Amino acid sequence: MLRPTLGLLALLLASSPAAAQNSPQATDVTSADIQQFINALPRDRVSDRPIRVVDVTGDYRVGVYGVFRPKEIPGGANKHEVNTTEIYYMVEGVATLVTGGTLRPPGPPIPGSSTRSPGIDGGVSRRVTKGDVVIIPGHTPHWWSELETDIEYLIFRPDPDNRLPLK
């Protein structure tokens, strides 16, 4: 009789609320959080700042970043020399994003992650508007070649190398 009782006890413990607490926790980022964060970004320069970065399984991190880019400062092309994919979600504005191709004479690498350039040759160009999503794998050149307006967008960064600092 002792064995079935221990088995039942083990089953009850495994399904108890204490066992459920060991599962990964979800992280909320509300639309109000996002809008407040983006509205607080500087308007005189390009920003790319973390809203939240979490360790999702102990194996990798995921970051949600808010970006404001003024029309007057489109910026150059870059290629991140990392495995981190970037997923852009356009919150406001209209711009042309070029991906792939070859960086024009590349500039020096930025220590730790990127190569910069004045533009891209031979990439795929697309007009991005509010609500659009673009997935950019790591090691892929990308460049906002034209900004029709100021733009606000979110970047989701799944980071298998755990480079993103937690926030």
18-35: pLDDT as tens digits: 445 567 789 999 999 999
Highest mean pLDDT: which range of 59-63, 79-83, 148-152:
148-152
Give the pLDDT mean for 135-147.
95
In percent, the amount of the chain with pLDDT more than 70 equals: 82
Q: Which amino acid is at 88?
A: Y
Run of H or E residues at 7: helix 2-14
CA nearest neighbour of 144 among 131, 156, 159, 128: 128
Give the pLDDT mean for 27-45.
95
What tens digit of pLDDT does each residue of 58-71 get? 778 999 999 999 99
- The residue ranges of every structural domain in the chain are 46-159
Per the listing, tokens 């900004």 go with 147
pLDDT at residue 111, rounded to an integer: 63
Per the listing, tokens 């307006």 go with 149
- If DSSP codes are grouped into helix, strand and coil, which group holds residue 132? coil
- If DSSP codes are grouped into helix, strand and coil, which group holds residue 101? coil
Beta-sheet strands, E only, within the chain: 49-55, 61-69, 77-80, 86-92, 94-99, 102-103, 109-110, 114-117, 120-121, 124-129, 133-136, 142-147, 151-159
pLDDT at residue 83, rounded to an integer: 86
pLDDT at residue 112, rounded to an integer: 60
Q: Are 137 and 79 in contact (CB under 8 A)?
A: no
Q: What angle do CA 110, 126, 137 make, to 5 degrees?
A: 45
CA nearest neighbour of 31 among 97, 92, 85: 92
Assign 117 a pLDDT band (cuts: 50, 70, 90): confident
Q: Are 142 and 136 in contact (CB under 8 A)?
A: yes
According to the CATH classification, is domain 46-159 in 3.40.50.300?
no
Total-model pTM: 0.82
